Amino acid sequence: MKKYLLAAVFVTVAGTVFAQQSKIANMRGYDKSGINVFETPKSDTVVPFDEVKVRIGAGFTQQFQALKHTNNSTSTTPLYNLRSGFNLATANLNIDAQLARGIRLNLISYLSARHHQETWVKGGFVQIDASPVNSDLLNEVFKYVTVKIGHYEDNYGDAHFRRTDNGHALYNPFIGNYILDGFTTEIGAEIDFQKDGFLAVAAIHNGEIKGEISDNPTRNPSFIGKLGYDKQLNTDLRVRLTGSVYHNNGAASNTLYTGDRGGSRYYMVLEPLASGVTSITNAWSGNIRPGFSRQVTAFMINPFLKYQGLELFGTLEFAKGRAITEATKRDVNQLAIEGIYRFTKNEDLFVGLRYNTVKADLLFGSATQTVKAERIQASAGWFITKNMVLKGEYVNQKYKDYPSNNLLSGGKFHGVMLEASVGF
């Protein structure tokens, strides 16, 4: 009886909310309108406000996977038996609220994910784009300044604005994310400054994916900085160039490169066929996770150019860090280049090509060895509506210089992925 009562309440509330879906100021759209939006714009700060308004949305994505993998490892452990089939459907719940003039709330939950198949809150934050008090000075400041406070996605680099976030995949012209996935959520505060195309970001976070009040081991905050320029030079040409830094000098469990609770899109590639190994326990197939849980300093440079329907986006990343059990730091570097061409009147059709390579010093037992991974992705997609996209991708990834007894030695996977996604 309780379940039916709760369902009835939810339907009633949801119906009321959808009936009055109102514009939320300074919000990146979850549909096609959110593509190539980075920091939320300052252009719509002044939205008439008379009462609290709530908007409910969602992201839902389903893939069909047809991948094959091989290796030449001397390990006696066989590779997982891959077959073509459907992956787990993933879903996000998006709640946005206008609390006051220029002040909004965001809350995103993962309803279904490869790694967390139960409901899991990604994070929530308050964003302030207008002065909460009528002050000439503050009103002038907030013409250019945005303040974000809460538990939210780190604004390190620009690649995280183009990635798939669990059930929400409309921003990503491909199906998989990067091999080295610089994405996490932390608790903290961020200040953005935007004026005449110039951009500056400064943030301080707690350095971990969850709250923690223990000082054993000693914990230090994370610092994030970004400088850039982003300008629509004319009706045909937009240019953007940013440089970012992330630094944490001592966390108990930093997750800059292990913070994706959604998991990889490439299920069980190069994973072992062994007891207890599932798509949940081994959720990041195809990724390189360097294990910088104690200390990490990372730099990312991102150029972006859009000329009519052509988009070029690049990532150059250098990181150094260590785990708590290590005395010395290791390096990991990443390069990614992608080109997208969107055509038809409303750019509803697109094709894309991405090259992604990573070179990393990884620990194998007590020894460090430099390894490489290289991935090529070719994609094509169709926005059926502004809220629905169909994508197809061919992916080919190879691993190099892994120890001969490691399962990834001589490893490679390739094949086709199909994906349908809804976002609103």
Return the H-helix or E-strand segment holding 3: helix 2-19
**Banded model confidence at residue 148, pLDDT cuts 50, 70, 90:** very high
Residue with tokens 């000693």: 218
Q: Mean of the per-residue pLDDT values for the chain?
A: 92
Domain region containing 250 = 2-423
Backbone angles phi, psi at 14, to 5 degrees: -60, -40
Q: Where are the alpha helices (DSSP H) in 77-156?
A: 136-141
pTM given for the model: 0.92
> Position of tokens 């240019």?
239
Total domain count, the chain: 1
Residue 212, domain CATH? 2.40.160.10
From the CB of residue 217, how many other CB atoms can be counted at a distance below 10 Å? 11
- Taking the C-alpha atoms of residue 296 and residue 258, their distance in angstroms, rounded to an integer, is 12
Instruction: List pLDDT tens digits, range 107-133.
Output: 999 999 999 878 889 999 999 999 988
pLDDT score, position 216: 80
Cα angle: 275, vertex 281, 285; to 5 degrees: 105
Predicted pLDDT of residue 16: 44
Pairing of strands 145-153, 120-128: antiparallel
CA of residue 171 relative to chain centroid, distance = 10
Q: For residues 342 and 346, give the distance between their C-alpha atoms in angstroms, rounded to a whole number.
A: 9
C-alpha span between 145 and 168 (Å, rounded): 28
Helix (H/G/I), strand (E/B), else coil: 307: strand
d(CA 87, CA 242): 35
Contact status, residue 158 vs residue 171, Cβ threshold 8 Å: no
Q: What is the pLDDT of residue 363?
A: 95
